Structure formats: C-alpha cells, structure tokens
Amino acid sequence: MTNPKIAPYGSWKSPITSDLIVAGSIGLGSIRLDGEDIYWLEGRPTEGGRSVLVKLSPDGTRTDITPQPYNVRTRVHEYGGGSYLVVDGRIYFSNFADQQLYKQLPNSEPQRLTPESKQRYADIILDQRHNRLICVCEDQTNPDQEPENSIVSVDLNNGEVKTLVSGCDFYSSPRLSPDGLKLAWISWNHPNLPWDQSQISIASVKDDGTLGDPQLVAGEENESICEPKWSAEGYLYFASDRSGWWNLYRYSNTGVPEPLYPMKAEFSYPHWVFGLSTYTFSSQDNLLCSYTQNGRWYLANLNLTTQQFNLIDIPYTDISALHATENYLLFVGGSPTQPGAIVKLDLSTQKTTILKQSTNLEIDSGYISIPQAIAFPTTDGLTAYGWYYPPTNQDYQAPDGELPPLLVKSHGGPTACASASLSLRVQYWTSRGFAYLDVNYGGSTGFGREYRQRLEKKWGIVDVDDCVNGAKYLVDQGKVDGDRLAISGGSAGGYTTLAALTFRDTFKAGASYYGVSDLEALARDTHKFESRYLDRLIGKYPEEKELYQQRSPIMFTDRLSCPVIFFQGLEDKVVPPNQTELMVEAIKNKGLPVAYVPFEGEQHGFRRAENIKRALDGEFYFYSRIFGFTPAEDIQPVEIENL
C-alpha cells in the first residue's frame, strides 16, 4: 500500500460513486415461501423504481416473475407493504399503476382480478375454504371525504368484493386460523397511529363466509398490538408493548394473553407498512425471533414448551422479514460490513448462505467506515443515542490540524431507528472525508415505549435538541469541525432538519428531502393515515393552532441564517410539494443561498436511479460550495441562488 495522499476533508477521491450505487443497488424484502420455492421483491432504481417479484427454485434457478410494465406495489396508507401472495405457484398481487389485484398463473401474463375502481388492496391472504382472498381495502372513491378502510373478501371466480369488517378508521393484518374457522385482525382509530394504540380481535368465519361477532383479544389504552400469527395448533401470537416494550404474547384457551419471554427489548417495530415479520415458527415447539436493543438486532430461538431462549450467533446486526421451515430460516440481514441481503440460515448447522445481495459492488474495506455506537447527554439530564462514522479512505489523510465536516442525519418516521448496516450512501460521505452521525433521537424505535413517547407534544424540540447535542458532543470530543456542521433528513427527518436550522444556530448548512415546513398545512393537507398524527406530536388542531405556528419553520424564516438545499417529489401525497416550495421562496427572498431540485414522477421517497444519483451528488456539491472544498470528481452542479 502506498503512502496516503494529503488532501483536505471533502476532497478525497472515492471509488464509491453515485453511479455505482444506483447501478448496483436494489431494494430487497417481502420474503415468502411456497413449498420449496422462495420468493422476494426487488425494488430496482434502474427500472424506474419498479418492484419485481423474483422466484428462487430448489435447483438454484432465479426467475423474474413480474413482466414489464407491472409493478408489485400497493399504496394503501401511501406506504404500502403486503403487496403480494403466492400459493401453489399462483400469485396474487397489487399492481401499482391501477392499484387493482391481479392473478398470475405459472408461465402466464397477469390477469386483473378486481373490477376497475378507486379501491386499493394490501395484506393479502387466501381463504381456501371459500375460494377467496381476504385483504385490507382502502376505498378512495369519494375525493371529498377521507378514504374508507375495511377488511374485504375478493371472490377468485369473479373478482366480487365484499366487506367483512368495517367501522374503524384503520385495519391491518387479517390472519386466518389454520382450520380457516377464525379470523384475527388489528384495528385502530383516529387520532392514534398503530404504535400509539391498537386492538386485536377475533371472529368466527361462518359457512357462508360472513363473520360472527368479534371478540376483543387485547388492546387497552396506550397499548400497541402488531404482527398477529397463528401457530399450527391454532394459538394466536402477537406483539404488544403493554409492558413498555414490544414483547411476544400467546392467546390460548385461557382467554388471557400470556407473555412468552419478557425482556426490555423490542420484538417488533412500528406498523408503517404491511407485512412485517419479526418472528416465525420453525416447528410446533420452536419460534425464531429477531429483537432489538439499543439499535442493534439479534436473532434467537425460543422453545415454546421449555421457555428456553437461546441466541443464535450470526454476523448480522439488522434482521427482518423472517420466514422458516423445519430446516432453514430466511431473513433480510445486514451488518456494518455487509449490505442488506436475502439470507438462508441452516437450522442444524447454523451456517448462513446469501441468496441475493442488495448490491453487487465489492468495496475494499479500506474505504469502509465502521459505525461506533455513542450515547451522549441531552436536554433535561437525559441520554440520546446514535451511530458515529469517522471519515475513512485508505488513500488519503487530512492535513495536520484539520478536523472533518460533520453531516448529521435525522431519520424519518419520526419513529424510525438509525441502522448500523452497511449503507453505501453513508460510505459515499465518509469515503470523501465527511464524518457522519446517524442520530436515534427521542421518539426513535428500539429503546422502549417511554423513549418513543419522549416526542409526544415535543416534536420539533426533543428531536432537534438531540441532533444538536449529538453534534456538539462530537465537537467537544475534538472529532469534528464545529464551523462545518450540516444536517440532513427526509420526511419527518426533513422537518427536524428545517427546525434545527431555523430555531438553533448550531448547523451551518442543511438538506431537506421532502421535509415538512408548515405544520398547519400538514395538518390540513396530508393523507388519511397520518392526518391526525400531529395530535400527539404537537397538539390538537385547530384548538392548539398557536403551537403549530410556533414550531413551523416557514413562520420564522427570519431566524434562518445558513444555506439550505431542498429535494422534492412532485407527486408526493404525504408531504405535498407546496411545503417545500413555500420555504424555498421565503429563503430566496431573504437572500440566503438556497437550491431546489424537484423530481417529476417521484412520490414520498425517490425510487428512480437518475433521481437518487442527482440528489446524492447535488447535496455533496452544495456542501462543497458552502464549506469551500473542491470535489475530486466532476459533479453535475445544482443552481444555487444568492450564492
């Protein structure tokens, strides 16, 4: 190895380019088993973000099942999930373009099953006894009122849709018992989100397909229920945070849910999307589960008879989408040195095999920054958490005495959790000489309900304080340059970013990806799923209108004193484009450097390769101009007004 070159932070040449990231990276998830065949979904930026169903046969043959132009993706709750089902080679899926259900037989083109309508479908299961599908339905027919959510059946002969369960604002997770005689489901009502308060119910399924009177199983005030599953012997399992942590419970003939293995750990996570699977049965006696503590995920085996709980030693720190047979476990796994992948674990030998990686890039470890878990003091004597990535590039070192710029990431949700899995987008920054801090601010998942509830009535305060205090902690530790601090985030993280830039003076630049700037506008103009979210995060609207105004960055652009770049999908229904455009105009009028990069055809989050590349390079270019360093490679510039 040659001696490293001396060059300022930010100007290091990296092999981890945006072209390589988007060309070689795909999204992986939604694993399903059908006999000996394994299925999963691949989100492909190079195909316009199309979501493609892939089958892996026992002989190792991998086949794309979804032909162009079909896109396996539902928009129920706007975030989707649970978009397909496969049974005996027959596939049922939601097609993104028209949101209708399609049936696809082996070696054939998909055929539409449901009649053309404004209804959307998700979380699909099969009711073999009545030759029908059961799923969640979101009816968007009347544009002048909120969509109506229900659980419906879809006749497999003629596509007829019938309502089975209605009356609540939201539904998820319809699950049939093994004998087909009982249906379980989760429901919740405004102003709650499913991680605030939700309920699980059971009803008998009559011979004619209608349901008997529902029986409430669990879901008291301030209790969140998720992931119901039936065991082979007909017991109902689910996760509940009634103890303060999402632990697993079993509901049997006693009529009282019993905890399986109480721990101060989370065995599930917020129900933003359908189709979660953090546990699965490998046999009648054994349950395999993933759980998280302090931001790191673990895998364990729980013997349901002896209650013996054993950790399984695997090289992964992010573990999700679990599905098992008696012989092996499938999951999506990632670690600080390994990108996300579909992984197969042999349950007898404990050997793991990668079936598909999210990227085909092979990066020398000399360019990979390994995250360090940090805990730092924050407001009111509390502690917050994050993952710190030091700048790392084996070819370079900085001049003596120079400290690196820091990019603070405020994650979305705001209930999400910063992951320590290898992210080439993070390494894009660190390999060019940036330090990077991924903050698990108060409100994040993985630290129990009490930590999650730190954000109640304090969104725009607690999250901002934790991001600011994380940056200050690293400055005080002598790790980063206090004059070159930037903050970036998307969606709810975009709001935290804008609030931090507006109401604090710690950061010198920032990037907002489809971030909220006007809380009043968000309360009045967003989709049903989140339309009452701010009741808990801010207060009731319009009764507490003043609070909304006090925490809206758009109302206080006079306090902004640093440059900002904005990225926005023009078809975003969660955070509409006017949220960004009003902020851009206000900053422009103030004379501060500002850039705006809108994307046609994108919604809440960017899926197309060219737009992912443009955003990543655009943010880096923006900081290069603001912080005064010269990128090592040519980057398409963005127009910066008032520079």
Residue 111 pLDDT > 70, yes or no?
Answer: yes
Q: Is the pTM of this model over 0.85?
A: yes
Tokens of residue 552, six digits: 């809206």
**If you average pLDDT over residues 397-407, what whole number do you get?**
97
Residue labelled with tokens 């992951």:
419
**If you average pLDDT over residues 239-254, what whole number do you get?**
94
Tokens of residue 355, six digits: 């079936």
Which residues does residue 184 pair with via DSSP β-bridges, in sequence order? Answer: 175, 202
**If you average pLDDT over residues 231-241, what whole number do you get?**
96
Residue 412 class from Cβ within 10 Å (0-12 exposed, 13-18 middle, 19+ buried)? buried
The pLDDT tens digits of the residues spanning 61-110 come to: 999 999 999 999 999 999 999 999 999 999 999 999 999 999 999 999 99
The pLDDT tens digits of the residues spanning 330-365 come to: 999 999 999 899 999 999 999 999 999 998 888 899
122 contact partners, CB below 8 Å, separation of at least 6: 74, 76, 77, 80, 81, 82, 83, 94, 135, 136, 138, 274
Round to whole Å and give the CA distance between 353 and 344. 5
User: Which residue type sits at 333?
Assistant: G
- pLDDT for residue 413: 87
Secondary structure (3-state) at 22: helix
Residue 573 pLDDT > 90, yes or no?
Answer: no
The pLDDT tens digits of the residues spanning 514-570 come to: 998 999 988 888 889 999 999 999 999 999 999 999 999 999 988 988 999 999 999
450-459 core/surface letters (b: 16 or more CB in 10 A; e: else):
ebbbbbbebb
7-25 core/surface letters (b: 16 or more CB in 10 A; e: else):
bbbbbbebebbbebbbebb
Secondary structure (3-state) at 40: strand
- pLDDT for residue 571: 92
Say if CB 344 and CB 10 are below 8 A apart: no
What value does the mean pLDDT of the chain take? 95
User: Which DSSP string do the residues of 127-164 spell out, in sequence order?
Assistant: EGGGTEEEEEEEE---TTSPPEEEEEEEETTT--EEEE
Reported as type and span, the H/E element at residue 392 is none
pLDDT band, residue 510 (cuts 50/70/90):
very high
Round to whole Å and give the CA distance between 626 and 329. 49
Percent of the chain with pLDDT over 70: 100
User: Which residue type sits at 324?
Assistant: A
Q: From 3.90.580.10, 3.40.50.1820, 3.30.365.10, 3.90.25.10, which CATH number describes the 5-17+363-627 domain?
A: 3.40.50.1820
Round to whole Å and give the CA distance between 514 and 577. 7
Domain boundaries, the chain: 5-17+363-627, 282-358
465-496 core/surface letters (b: 16 or more CB in 10 A; e: else):
bbbbbbbbbbbeeebbbeebbbbbbbbbbbbb
- pLDDT for residue 1: 53
Among 19, 39, 21, 18, residue whose Cα is nearest residue 30:
39
E strands, 231-276, are: 236-240, 247-251, 258-259
- pLDDT for residue 520: 92
pLDDT band, residue 45 (cuts 50/70/90):
confident
Among 548, 545, 558, residue whose Cα is nearest residue 503:
558
Going by the DSSP 8-state scheme, the letter that residue 274 receives in this structure is B
The pLDDT tens digits of the residues spanning 434-490 come to: 999 999 999 999 999 999 999 999 999 999 999 999 999 999 999 999 999 999 999
Reported as type and span, the H/E element at residue 90 is strand 90-94
The pLDDT tens digits of the residues spanning 165-218 come to: 999 999 999 999 999 999 999 999 999 999 999 999 999 999 999 999 999 999
